[in-house]
Structure 1
């Protein structure tokens, strides 16, 4: 008796599925083997030695490992001791770090990262940031340059391990069903929203304020008595050539640096993806994309990677034609499909830099309003792409075919060509904008050594549970606070939390963890990393 058609279909489906899983399994195994060999070769050829890694990089790595398990595959947990962040215990931490390094250095079975050594750790002074020698710069760039394996990009930090789609499936289909039942988990937000006490907490932790456009931009008509046609044709006028930060949601931020306006990772939809399985926004947006475009003069859009919660393609046609885009390698083809001209796009590989000359229009000061003329000022935006520990994909078939970036940005007046001294003059401002990433002490201290310090930083603090799955792609709050020290940021703003519930921690956990960490490690600097309301503008 011949098999029926349904049986044929089932057999074919099982065969295709098995081949698909086996094929990807073989691919990931080969990719991970090649990646590890390449990283081992880099570590031998380009070791990171003092003063490239300051003492706090190792001691904080031990502390972070103990707290959130980020370095679980190393000996850090085995050797870890509780470390205090107080200055009184700084010498003990450095000594403990040396002991760990010595133990690791004498272990023949340890991985190639043991070629990195502090030797004799020295104190980190203000000049440490941005003080890399040419030799150090060469080692940093080669050690953390982008890597493509079998046609797809791979991560270059030692903490990374290849996960594959099956680990995500295990998390969602097994772990979330049987171990911690959290199907349709919303972080407890809906339950809190049903009670008066819960709603008060939501309003307290996630307040929403309408953006005060008049503080940021003046109408050209009011400032210069220009005609309506001139106002429509010209970009909006800044009220001042100042610097500010406004959080819109997730990693979407409106940033001004010396008057230059930057929009980051623009997403304005109710969901990252219109789907039954996609989360919805917890809070109303402080503005719509149409309102933003109508009121703001967007000079540059920074895109960190192509995930749906960082790039909403529906907004691309609405971005003004004068706006320039800075994106990771491989994203141009997607943007051009939705109306962005290729000549407006700058693709950057890790450690590549682009210089964008810009002209901004600034309204007269209040005391000079009688003169009523808009002034034009020349600015130069230097942007450097730096590595992150993450991945990219918009479909099941394009995983890691495009790169993922963080950015170091410096804006200065035209003619000021002093890249070695970011933020050192009133006409220079520096920013570190962090894309989604896991924490790597060696990577972030390398960024601080090569490109720091920074006047301010934007750092993700959410989507970090469960740690066994998320630790290499999303930082825990403890790690985000540590990054402010690694890179030397004077001030930092929290983002990538409180917008969509995309992981297993409670919706308010990042907020409480942030305050707990700041009390423990920065009692004298509680504003080191700020969780801010949606829509409120902070002047820098």
Structure 2
């Protein structure tokens, strides 16, 4: 009997689906094979040995030091003289710190706190910097970007399917999971907990900027607010990874997303809490100089916001993101694409209001140098099912200093003196890699302030390579040597399996166990401004 037409259609669909799945499976297998070979080659060519171990690695022992990559592992074929010297020196340091060669504690002492004057952070030689850059340079495999940290493994769509259609249905039922937020909203005790852990404050614009004067619209100058203090540095969390940051008078907007949902669909989560401001309120009350975009995921890039950003604002973005921004009205001349470890400097003119005026009718202009370096992260990019990893994903190390310091540095042939520069580490979505973050601290640290994600980490078997647990975020503050850090990427949308308040409690638990200052990593209210 000949097959009927419905049977033929069914057979064709099954065949096409099988070919599609098999094709992607072969692609991922080839990609992972090539990636692993490249990483093994880089590890041999560019070993990460520093003359001093990072303070937290010293206090934790040789095993941690080897794990973060500042000591080479021994092997059966013997080690080089340099490796022997490193190991002997490490054992001497450990003995001084009260630890044996296996990292066991003989004398308990708290780990040293990173300071701006630390000799390890930012103390890499030119040779070390070259090794770090080559070890963690961006990598394209079969036309798509790939991760370069040893912790990464290729997941593919099937692992997401296993999470959502099997793990979340049968093993740990969490379909339409909102982290228990709606259940808390239904009780008085739950509502009190929400108000306590996720308070929302209206942004006090007048503390940051002076409004334009009524007659400024008739003048030739721009009708925009002016900052109140030329040395002003502050942090304001808007939600998820959207932050308003001021660094020595330069105003930075990061990963702007102002919609109620990341994606306007039935399946997309809605905001847990009202926003402290709308995009229109923000633009009317601030003078933005720079926008930082870490990657193209919907919870980090709201395309509806792009046409609203003033025409003079500069965008710093990962490789490959210019076409999307151009499509939504951003002039390509305003866009600076950065590869990992690529550095660029931008002159910025800030407008400072006179202290004795209530409005910005009398302003002075000052020049700043905005020095930015893109650094790697362990993540991925996509906005559709067809553009996965066609664009890069970044974190950023930023330094801001005055034009006078920049001129002095150029005349002397050396960078501006560190005490005169304000520094920021803005971390995009990333899994934790001790070798990567230690390398960042060694090459670019320390930092005055860091902004670190602490949410979207469960289930760990799926999320750990792309999102950090709170304990790992705390570890990053030590790896990079930040004086102070603020938590973000939590409490905005329920996008993973942890309860909505778990990041908060995990953060306080981690700080108490390590006897750290709360400023090590601080969870702050939406909209509240913190002076730095």
TM-score by length of 2: 0.88
1:424 equivalenced with 2:416 (yes/no): no
Aligned twin of 2:50: 50
User: Do the aligned residues in 2 keep the contact of 1:434 with 1:458 (CA within 8 Å)?
Assistant: yes
| Residue 397 of structure 2: aligned partner | 408
Kept after mapping to 1: 8 A contact 2:210/2:359: no
Superposed CA deviations along residues 407-431 of structure 1, whole A, max 9, x for unmatched, are: 0001111131357567512xx2100
In the comparison of the two structures, how many residue pairs are matched?
Answer: 495
Specify which of 390, 403, 412 is matched with residue 379 of structure 2. Answer: 390
**Rounded Cα–Cα distance in structure 1 between residues aligned with 2:165 and 2:156:** 15
CA deviation profile, 1:382-422 (whole Å, cap 9, x unmatched): 11000000000001111000000000001111131357567
Work out which of the residue numbers 299, 315, 323 in structure 2 matches 1:325: 315
Residue 173 (structure 2) pairs with residue 181 (structure 1)? yes
* Counterpart mapping for 1:25-424 below 5 A: 25-51=25-51, 53-54=53-54, 56-57=56-57, 90=59, 93-94=60-61, 97=64, 105-106=74-75, 120-121=89-90, 122=93, 126-221=118-213, 226-230=215-219, 233-241=222-230, 242-366=232-356, 373-417=362-406, 423-424=418-419
Q: CA deviation at 1:315?
A: 0.6
Kindly indicate whether the alpha-carbon contact (under 8 Å) linking 1:130 and 1:420 is maintained by their aligned counterparts in 2.
Answer: no
Tell me the CA shift for residue 369 of structure 1.
7.1
In the alignment, structure 1 residue 508 sits paired with structure 2 residue 501: yes
Q: Pick closer, same or farther for the CA change 1:385–1:49 going to 2, 3 Å.
A: same
Residues 251 and 496, structure 1, Cα contact 8 Å, conserved in 2: yes
User: Cα gap change, 1:95/1:355 in structure 2, threshold over 3 Å: closer, same or farther?
Assistant: closer
Q: Deviations over 1:84-133 (max 9, x none)?
A: xxxxxx3xx3255479899953479xxxxx99x76633588712111100
Alignment check: 8 A CA contact 2:453 2:473 kept: yes
Distance 1:447 1:99 in 2: 16
Tell me the secondary structure at the aligned position of residue 213 of structure 2: helix
Whole-angstrom CA distance in 2 between matches of 1:442 and 1:205? 33
Deviation per CA, 1:19-69: give whole Å up to 9, x if none: 111111000000000000000000000001133653634x7xxxxxxxxxx
Q: 2:185, 2:191 within 8 Å by CA — same for their partners in 1?
A: yes
Alpha-carbon distance between aligned partners in 2 of 1:262 and 1:231, rounded to the nearest angstrom: 25
Deviations 1:192-244 (A, max 9, x none): 0100000000000000011111111102317xxx4333398333211112000
- Shift of the alpha carbon at 1:373? 2.4
Range that drifts further, 440-449 or 213-222: 213-222
The whole-number CA distance in structure 1 between the counterparts of 2:360 and 2:272 is 46
Question: In 2, distance between residues paired with 1:535 and 1:503?
Answer: 24
8 Å Cα contact 1:422-1:430 kept in structure 2:
no
Q: Is the 8 A contact 2:47 2:72 kept in 1?
A: no
Change (3 A) 1:347 1:174: same
User: What corresponds to 2:510 in structure 1?
Assistant: 517
Q: Distance in 1 between matches of 2:138 and 2:122?
A: 21
Question: Is the Cα–Cα contact under 8 Å of residues 219 and 231 in structure 1 kept in the other structure?
Answer: no
- Distance in structure 1 (CA, Å) of the matches to 2:444 and 2:55: 18
Query: Is the Cα–Cα contact under 8 Å of residues 246 and 254 in structure 1 kept in the other structure?
Result: yes
Question: What's the secondary structure of 1:456's corresponding residue?
Answer: strand
Q: For 1:169 and 1:208, how far apart are their aligned partners in 2? A: 35
RMSD (CA atoms): 2.4
In structure 2, how many angstroms separate the alpha carbons of the residues matched to 1:120 and 1:149? 39
How far apart are the structure 1 equivalents of 2:17 and 2:355?
Answer: 67
What CA distance in whole angstroms lies between the structure 2 residues aligned with 1:360 and 1:386? 26
